Amino acid sequence: MPRRFPQYDDYRASVQQIIASSSDSDYLDQLIPALKDASNNNRTAAFMQSLSHYADEKEADIEQIGLTKHDEFLRSVDQLQSVRQGTVALTSDILQLNESIQASTESLAEQKEKLVETKAIRQNISDATDGLKESLDILHALNQAHDLIRKRHYYIALKALDDLQNEHLVPIIQNKYATQHKLALMIQKSIPASQKLISDQVMNDLNTWLFRIRETSQFLGEVAFYHTNLRQKRQKDRLDANLSIKPYALNSAIELVADESEEFDVLDNDEVSVEFVPLFEAIHIHEALGQSEKFKQEYAVTRRQQKDLLLPSSISLIEDEENGLSSLLEAIAGFAIIEKATMRRCPNLRSPAEVDELWDSMIQTAKQLITKAMNEVDRADVIRDKKEIIALFIQTMEGWGYSVSTLDDFLLTLFEKYADLLQKAFSEDFQEIVSTDDYMPMAIATQEEFQKVRTVSWFTPDEEPITFPCILPFSQMYPLSCIDIRNFLNQFYFFADNHFRHPHVIDETLKKSLDNLLSQQVCKILVERLNSQYLGQIVQILINLEYFENACRELELLLVQARSSSSAGGPIVLHATEEFRSNKKTAEKRIFELVNSKIDDLVETAEYDWMAPTLEAEPSSYMSTLTQYLSNIMTSTLLGLPREIKELIYFDALSHTANLILALPLSPSVKKINPNGVAALAKDVAYLSSFISTLDNAPVLKQNLDELEQTVLLMQTENPDEFYDIGVRNRKFGRVDAMTGPVLLEKLTHSVQSPRNDRLANFSSRFGMK
């Protein structure tokens, strides 16, 4: 079997391309694929064979050329030899040049190394410069933020810190290989401290502001009170000009509209100016720091503490000094105004519930302080003055939207104290007036005095014109009491002049107090003085009671007119009116008692000789004295009494006199009466009758003597049996008592004995002899 040679790939085309390459790079470009292909396919031997075959062919060509062109070859060799020599020379020159270039290259390498090193240094310096510049920018931004803090530009400083973080620190910190990484971390850690510094500085400024407004609170309240007072005056002027707006009080819609032209800012005026910039800044800063809730809590605590510091432990109502009521209410008003203004400007900082809680707390404390201080007050005018301050406070704070119902109710407590003190003061005045009165008719010297009395005392004289000097029927206590009564009414209504929303309470309390004063301090004292034995004083008391009764009726009408619309309708009846009316009867009875007592005394002096031996030529002395007494009291003591009372007193006195005279002959001690004794009695009765005839209303008064005159006529009759004839008795002796007539007739004797015989008769009768 013939030997088979291995098959090889034909790389002759590839070899031709490689050999034909024009440059080293092209040569490599052709060689590399061939080598790669031969290597990948394990055809290296074929590729090498192709190269060897190509080399053999070229050597064969060279040999052929040498054999065929020998001379030329030799010449070429010679040429090559000369070329070789030139080449050697050139090689020597090249070697020398190479050495020279080698030396230059080494120097250049050294320079290049130095240049590279220099560039590295320059790069390091540049990097360091850039890092330092960035560090300086960071430090500059930080210093700028702290400089803003020192200049109190807190929000700008806070914004600068935020910019420092976002623009400088955060990018550097995120790049761990940055040269400023440590510096950035250190500054980043200091940011919270800077923010806290800003927060502390803001709070310091806020605390300073809070301290200042706490110090300004009282003055702010004083300015607010002054402004409210001006509004009151303007409203009063409007009311005087137009009565139709009377129902519209201060802070009503009508008043607010009418007062729109008078613009006034309590927080910003010529007297006081409250800036809220520190508060706004603090709110803004804490919002930026995300600490709004914490700030609200701290602010609320601070205001509660300031509220506690604002309120004293005690006040005085006696003197309006530093710890007086005005100072307290002005401070509360200023504090509350700041709270309300803060709530309006910063709704998210102060809620209405928080503000109202502080307000209620201050009001409760103020009530307790005022209530405690009232225990030291013993004058009603002090309470009234303090009520005016409280009313001013109420109207001021009502205008700021605060609830004042608690204070309105507290005014009732204040009024109760005021009414008690007022009643006590006027009670003392009435007692002094009544106790120091002279109980004599009041003398008036001039027309001016008369007009004053007439104006204050509801006195209208029966006759005009009046000549002066003159005497008024009542004593001095009546007009003085009337003046006090009017002052008492005015003092009560003064309390309601400026903001008092319980006028019906004043109406009711005034009626009770006035009733009590008139009943207990006037009427009662007058009645107690009726125990006097001096008739003139009793008569004057009766006259005064009469005028006080009339005054009470006038007061009832006056109270109806002055009554508030909220009170119940209908007439007003003072119990004192009935007290004076009923006690007039008591005074009348007392006058009857005194007059009758005097008559008793006079009649007891009668000395009738019932068995007189002779006729009396003149009336009895007691009768002349009695009639003189009755005449005198009618023209002097009883002169000031009303006509009907005088007639009633006279009627009763004459009736009592007739009964006493009639009782004289009926006395058990009188056993016998002769005609001379009857004649003496008849003379006195006739004298009394003639005296009554001179009096006014004599026919009526004479009726009191009917029984006495008919009894005397019966004793003088010549036919006593007529008395026992009913027809005749009714006609002639109808007023004679059917029981006393026979008694007197039994005592009559128709003979007149001599004194001696009379003595014997008396002796015989004494010893039972006939």
Give the tens place of pLDDT for each residue, 433-443.
Answer: 888 888 888 88
Q: What is the mean pLDDT of residues 593-605?
A: 91
User: In the predicted model, is pLDDT for residue 662 greater than 70?
Assistant: yes
* DSSP codes of every residue in 583-607: HHHHHHHHHHHHHHHHHHHHHHT--
pLDDT tens-digit map of 690-731: 998 988 888 888 888 888 888 888 888 888 888 888 888 888
* More confident site: 735 or 179: 735
What residue type is assigned to position 737 of the chain?
Answer: D
**Number of helices followed by number of strands (H, E) in the chain:** 28, 2
What pLDDT does 85 receive? Answer: 76
Question: Lowest-confidence range among 167-176, 302-311, 431-440, 662-671?
Answer: 167-176
DSSP state of 474: S
- Rounded to an integer, what distance in angstroms lies between the CA atom of residue 390 and that of residue 228? 12
Token pair for residue 322? 């530093």
Cβ atoms of 682 and 712 closer than 8 Å:
yes
Rounded (5°) CA angle 573-577-580: 165
pLDDT digits (tens, 9 = 90+) for 391-424: 888 888 888 889 888 888 888 888 888 889 888 8
Min mean pLDDT across 149-153, 322-326, 473-477 is at 149-153
Task: Please state the pTM of the whole predicted model.
Answer: 0.68
Q: Which amino acid is at 192?
A: P
Question: First CA to last CA across the chain, in angstroms?
Answer: 237
Q: Could you write out the three-class secondary structure of 337-384?
A: HHHHHHHHHCCCCCCHHHHHHHHHHHHHHHHHHHHHHHCCCCCHHHHH
Average pLDDT over residues 233-248: 63
Contacts of 310 (CB under 8 A, 6+ apart): 214, 217, 331, 332, 335, 362
Q: How far is CA 221 from CA 266, 359, 364, 395, 693, in A?
A: 9, 14, 18, 12, 83
User: Is 698 in contact with 688 (CB distance < 8 Å)?
Assistant: no
pLDDT at site 768: 43
pLDDT at 164: 63
Which amino acid is located at 13 in the chain? A
Tokens for 239, please give them.
Answer: 């009311």
Given a cut of 60, whether residue 51 has pLDDT beyond it is yes
Reduce the DSSP state of residue 444 to 3 states and report it. strand
Q: Residue 276 pLDDT more than 60?
A: yes
Q: At what angle do helices 292-310 and 277-288 cross, to 10 degrees?
A: 150
Copy the structure tokens of residue 116. Answer: 């590279």
Per-residue pLDDT tens digits for 172-186: 665 665 556 666 667
